[in-house]
Structure 1
Amino acid sequence: MNLLFVCTGNTCRSPMAEAIAKHLSNDIHIKSAGVYAVEGSAASIHTVEALSEQGVPINHSSQGLTKNLVDWATYIFTMTQSHKDMIVRQYPESLPKIYTIKEFAQNSQSDVMDPYGGPIEVYRQTFNELNEVVQALLKELEKNR
């Protein structure tokens, strides 16, 4: 199974979700990308700090969303409805495998808070939010295996 987490710049939310999922599961292939990512950027300093405070390792270099990644993914999980809409417009064939992360994991229509540019406290809140959602997502995927 191949999971792809997608956010805007691939430096905060999607790398955080990727790192959490990798930390919690060792039998799933996991990547992340951004719809407007600059290739090769590191995860934001606060993303790395919020993860390391919780003992979650991260080794990240940002990448943009490509057709190859869309084709690779079994499931694509976006941080917001607008990310999902953008991907479906660009890759309509991805519709059956694309969900917002909260839609799939919690049957919720809400988006994951974007911590970009905020203080470390906001990144900690995003970590807590994503940690809860990713755990629920992995449980849902386990049910569907």
Structure 2
Amino acid sequence: MKHILFVCTGNTCRSSMAEALFRDMLEVREEFNEIRVESAGIFATDNRPASKQAIKALEEESIDLTNHRSQQLTADQILKADLILTMTDNHKEAILRMAPDAKGKTFTLKEFAFNEIKDIHDPFGQSIEGYRSSKAEIKKALEKVIGKIENI
């Protein structure tokens, strides 16, 4: 079973949305039913719910994020993941400081999807529009990731 890990700062906005959106995309593709998807935050406080705006933004996609609970990134998660997709270059660098051996499997989401070093906008503390914008960025990148994960 392949294991994909999404990482951001607090695991209540971007990485939680990425995890839920990607699960939803994989659900309709039988060839990907052996993929485990998870998210975590570099500075997350364990067991916090997703932000209200993230929940609302995903409700618009008919995806329920209400049961999500944040978790802090662990060395074990890094070790077990086949692919780690971060929301920013700073997140990627933090992971590589924790686990230099993760270099070949750790990328920013946009780097893996589009071969460009750009961050996913952080909507934390913004209105629902900021969350919709981040959701759209994430979703666009994930649509590219789907086509690339067969090779991980």
TM-score normalised to structure 2 length:
0.92
The answer to whether the 8 Å contact 1:79/1:112 transfers is: yes
- Where in structure 2 are there 5+ consecutive unaligned residues? 28-32
What letter matches 1:44 in structure 2? S
Q: CA deviation at 1:23?
A: 0.3
Query: For this pair of structures, how many residues does the alignment match?
Result: 144
Query: Aligned residue for 1:63?
Result: 71
Q: CA deviation at 1:90?
A: 1.1
The answer to whether the 8 Å contact 2:45/2:70 transfers is: yes
Distance across 1 between alignment mates of 2:44 and 2:51 = 13
Determine which of 30, 41, 44 is the counterpart of 1:37. Answer: 44
Q: CA deviation at 1:34?
A: 0.3
Deviation track 1:38-87 (CA, whole Å, cap 9, x = no partner) reads 00000000000000111122231000010111112110000000100011
Query: Aligned residue for 1:82?
Result: 90
The answer to whether the 8 Å contact 1:23/1:57 transfers is: no
- Where in structure 1 are there 5+ consecutive unaligned residues? none
Q: Does 1:47 align with 2:54?
A: yes
Distance across 2 between alignment mates of 1:62 and 1:81 = 21
Determine which of 72, 94, 101 is the counterpart of 2:102. Answer: 94
Q: Does 1:4 align with 2:27?
A: no
RMSD: 1.0
Q: CA deviation at 1:138?
A: 1.1
Identity score, percent: 41
The answer to whether the 8 Å contact 2:75/2:98 transfers is: no
Distance across 1 between alignment mates of 2:129 and 2:21 = 18
1:25 is paired with a residue of what secondary structure?
A: helix
Query: Aligned residue for 2:136?
Result: 128
Distance across 1 between alignment mates of 2:82 and 2:64 = 24
TM-score normalised to structure 1 length:
0.96
Query: Aligned residue for 1:140?
Result: 148
Q: Which runs of 4+ in 1 moved over 4 A?
A: none
1:125 is paired with a residue of what secondary structure?
A: helix
What letter matches 1:9 in structure 2? G
Distance across 1 between alignment mates of 2:42 and 2:136 = 23
Q: CA deviation at 1:2?
A: 0.5
